Amino acid sequence: MQRTSIEISYSPEEELIARYAKALSHPVRVRILHFLESQACCFTGELTEEIPMAQSTISQHLKELKEAGLIQGDVMPPRVKYCINQKAWAEAKKVFAVFFDK
């Protein structure tokens, strides 16, 4: 018997929650967000001092957070300055609050 794939559509809210949840699915990313939330901004080197991991590993986690829109990075050669994307961070808090309140 052959199965046919069924196209499932998701609401924009479901897509948004999933995107933010994926970004928050690793403890290092959660720690990065907590650190950035307590700072105005920081450079990658400051994160490697706070989180004892290789810079390449930290960079991969920063990439995931940036792709989700939760942080933003400004290239200031030879470094990158990272900050919380305040608008997306507020939105993430709101969508999770609504989700968990249901």
In a domain, 25, yes or no: yes
Predicted TM-score of the model (pTM): 0.86
Number of domains in the chain: 1
Which domain range does residue 34 map to? 12-101
Beta strands across the sheet bearing 42-43: 42-43, 79-84, 71-76
Residue 36 lies in a domain: yes
> What does the pLDDT read at residue 77?
86
Q: What is the CATH number of the domain that holds 89?
A: 1.10.10.10
**Using CA atoms, how far apart are residues 85 and 66, in angstroms rounded to an integer?**
9
Given a cut of 70, whether residue 1 has pLDDT beyond it is no
pLDDT at 6: 86
Instruction: Say how far apart CA 93 and CA 91 lie, in whole Å.
Output: 5
Beta carbons within 8 Å of 97's beta carbon, 6+ residues apart: none
Note the pLDDT tens digit of each residue in 9-66: 999 999 999 999 999 999 999 999 999 999 889 998 899 899 999 999 999 999 999 9
Q: Rounded to whole angstroms, how far apart are CA atoms 46 and 51?
A: 9
